Amino acid sequence: MSPAITTLIILAVVAVFFITEIIPLAVTAMAGAIACGIAGVIPVKTVFSGLSNSTVVLFAGMFVISAAMFHTGLAQLIGTRVVRMVGTGENSLMFGTMIIGALMSSVSSNTGTCAALLPVIVGICSAAKIPAKRQLMPLAFGCGVGGIITLVGTPPNIIATGSLKAAGFQGFGFFEFAWIGIPLTIGTMIYMMLIGKRLLPAGDIVGDIEIDEEAAAEAQAATTDSRKQWLVGLTLLAVVVVMALDIKALPLEVAAVIGALFLVVTKCVSEKNAYAGIDWTTIFLFAGMMPIASAMDKSGAGKLIADLVVGVLGGTPGPLLVTAILFILSCGLTQFMSNTASSALLCPIGISIAQSIGAHPQAVLMAIAVAASCAFATPVGTPPNTLVLGPGQYRFMDYVKCGVPLILVCFVISLAVIPLVWPFFG
């Protein structure tokens, strides 16, 4: 059996386990990497090379900084003040909810942001006699789309950049994602305030709504030490500025780790909470998929898939058509599986397809990463969607009714903006 076929079999098994989640995602990814090593597709000594990848270090550093935001109460403080400042009218409250959710998610965990803001929104809705289910889904969508704005806002962005670098191409810059992230965020907010709100369930006003345990725990874990809040805020600002300046002597991962270490040393976040704040599933999933991506490249499996896709599309498909198809595939997968997993699965394939038609891969990978964050159609597509399911008393079809049109909006915006910012040729 050729190395390419062996790799494709391993990839197919990994994809099945990703979709079904019969075993944990991280275990699946690492097992796939080990299988590639044992099968001789890649050197055995490189099986765990993903754990030393600079992208993994960047993940870890930003997870710790994000944890400090929530454990010092900074995230909750910002959210409360902004949301209360905009008022309690349905549209104004929705605007405040989504804008603060998006902005905070652009530099921190969208799950943590949603968990921190959820009790705030429920409380304000109760006091203003507004059904919470009219505001909680917009909160989840705002947190989901806001992560697209920066490199560290959501794992798919970092995975796309890491995949480009691993293939020998230039990665995306820290704020480069804002070219598409900001239009998508604006489009999402306009859609929700004009159309989406008409598709949300009406609901009754509930004074004592049951809040998700994870969200409540996030809120209760916060301290109110203003000195620590200032330290965390300034540290985050410093890290973001350094990343945005793209200082060669201070790479992104180094800036993130310095910021994380500073917050631990100054006790803005305890060592225990720093470890707990790291999403180890994301870390090991990414670390496991990097060797698999390498195996696809070295074995020729990626080229096989690319040739098959190109053949099905007629032999000489336009890059915009390829981008559209990969967007749909990535978006479809992310409705039922981790966005980290779907982007890690598709990015190497996207690079191979782009190369096979002679196009720059940046646009294709940007589409894959963006689509992986458009998990609006199911309650399991992304953690924020799941967090608001119980408190908002939503049904599965509520997400479908409101989320599918939003995905179409994001699809149109993406296909209009991405080729302009990241040309296929030239």
The closest of 286, 339, 365, 344 to 53, measured between CA atoms, is 286
Q: What is the pLDDT of residues 317-326, one digit of tens each?
A: 789 998 999 9
What's the chain's length in residues?
426
Q: At what angle do helices 90-105 and 74-85 cross, to 10 degrees?
A: 150
Kindly list the domain boundaries of the chain, sorted by start residue. Answer: 3-421
| Mean pLDDT, range 76-82, rounded to an integer | 78
Is residue 338 pLDDT above 90, yes or no? no
Is residue 216 pLDDT above 90, yes or no? no
Identify the residue with better confidence: 108 or 402: 402
Residue 209's pLDDT is: 46
Q: How big is the chain by its Cα radius of gyration, in Å?
A: 21
| Mean pLDDT, range 1-30, rounded to an integer | 85
Q: Can you give the pTM of this predicted structure?
A: 0.76
| Mean pLDDT, range 7-32, rounded to an integer | 85
Residue 207's pLDDT is: 43
Residue 215's pLDDT is: 47
Residue 199's pLDDT is: 93
| Mean pLDDT, range 159-185, rounded to an integer | 92
Residue 127's pLDDT is: 72
Helices (H), 192-318: 197-199, 213-221, 226-245, 252-265, 271-277, 280-299, 301-312
| Mean pLDDT, range 85-101, rounded to an integer | 85
